[in-house]
Amino acid sequence: MKKAFYISIILFSWIGFTKAQDLKLQKHYADSLFQSEQFFDAITEYKRLMFFSNSDENNYDTNFRIALCYKAGGKYNAAIKHFNIAKVYSINTQDSIATELQIIRTNILRRTIPEALLLLNNMDGAYKNKIDSSKIIYWRGWAYLMADDWELASEEFQKLNKFHPIKTLADSVNAKKYSVVFAKVASFIIPGSGQFYTGNYLSGIMSLGWNLMFGYLTINAFLTDRAVEGILIGSLLWTRFYKGNFQNAEKFAVERNKKISNKAYEFLSKKYVGEKP
């Protein structure tokens, strides 16, 4: 009886040891896929590791890496889900901070900017004296960048360094951008002037020409007692071209600004050497 008991202990110990070794090898394999940037294969292996593990020992690291894999693949909702799971299993404050910063960075990438800013504000209060405030400022600046608010971004990066390269870039973008309101109001006052302001000269000339022509025809009709003709020309043609004139001016300003912003984003993506979301 005792002999059977001891054999059972040895057998179960061996099974446990073998399983532990298998899990260790599984983790090593998943980590190797992660390091070689085979992210979706790595996700499969990390999930297999969690399925066969009866311990919470690797849950933080495994979920954190699964989230990084999803983030690298542009699956931002899935990334945030696993970052939140990782946070539950975080061992210490530094792990919690690292995970929350990743959640913020993923929100910046998927352009849910209000959520990113709210989380940054919460972190600023929750981890007082436990996190470098420059990190909060830095990622808040990035949030404003991705919200296309270059002025506020410049203000944040100036808090870090008045010569910070992103501050310089943000100031440059602000200087180049067109005022959408000015373009619209200018064309409201003088048809075609908003298009000239945004560099769309042909459109500006045509807009001015059409408005002058139909304005002349409308006024002339009233002056020569052709009121019905004047009403028809004014309401159907002049009004249409006049309204289209300042709508086009607004559209051109928005499009120009988008091109300016996109060029800056391209620079940040390809040439900026600092930390990115």
From the centroid of its chain, how far is CA 213? 46
Per-residue pLDDT, 144: 95
Domain span at 201: 180-267
Residues 196, 136 share a domain: no
Residues 141, 186 share a domain: no
Judge whether 52 lies within some domain.
yes
Number of domains in the chain: 2
Question: Quick one: which of 260, 131, 115, 254 has its CA closest to 182?
Answer: 254
Which residues of the chain have a pLDDT value below 50?
2-19
Residues 64, 184 share a domain: no
Structure tokens belonging to residue 13: 């110990």
Residues 107, 42 share a domain: yes
For the beta carbon of residue 157, count every other beta carbon within 10 angstroms: 26
Judge whether 166 lies within some domain.
no
Judge whether 7 lies within some domain.
no
Per-residue pLDDT, 60: 87
Question: Exposed, middle or buried: residue 218 (CB in 10 Å: 0-12, 13-18, 19+)?
Answer: buried
State if pTM tops 0.85.
Answer: no
Per-residue pLDDT, 141: 94
Per-residue pLDDT, 209: 66
Judge whether 276 lies within some domain.
no
Q: Which of 132, 150, 168 is the last residue of a domain?
A: 150
Residues 140, 41 share a domain: yes
Secondary structure element (H or E) that encloses residue 155, with its range: helix 150-160
Per-residue pLDDT, 5: 38
Residues 218, 256 share a domain: yes
Structure tokens belonging to residue 70: 């999803």
Model pLDDT for residues 125-164, shown as the tens digit of each residue: 777 777 778 899 999 999 999 999 999 999 999 999 899 9
